Amino acid sequence: MKIIVDTCIWSLAFRKKSFTADPTVMLLQELIKESRVQMLGPIRQEILSGIKLDKDFEKLSTALRSFQDFNLISEDYEHAARLFNLCRRNGIQGSNTDFLICSISERYDMAIFTYDIDFKRYQKYFKINLIDVSTGKPVPSYHA
């Protein structure tokens, strides 16, 4: 199963000085070694946004080129909008990127690796699987 790695996980990994002690970063390394990481263009953009120095930007963008972007189609964006609207009707806010991640996860049966608690809220309204950091296994959606 391919795993969509959310921006917060990438940011944590790139900030860590020592990769050996953090279980989240260790799991990311394992997923990379197993070629299970699926990159989305909007996540790539979020990772690279706000980098102050051009040399740091180039270094990071070069490293991220190892991960090919998943080809998004119009229906992916439309489904993301449907998920956004469903959550909004139920009082749940989220970013467009979050709902695009959920759309891809649900439509293509990919799990999401994140520590953003908003995704647990989304799980109540549609089927997405989140990766448990302690086990590395998908946690099924609560949605029936």
pTM: 0.92
Structural domains of the chain ordered from first start? 3-71+109-139 (3.40.50.1010)
The string of pLDDT tens digits covering residues 78-127 is 999 999 999 999 999 999 999 999 999 999 999 999 999 999 999 999 99
SS3 101: helix
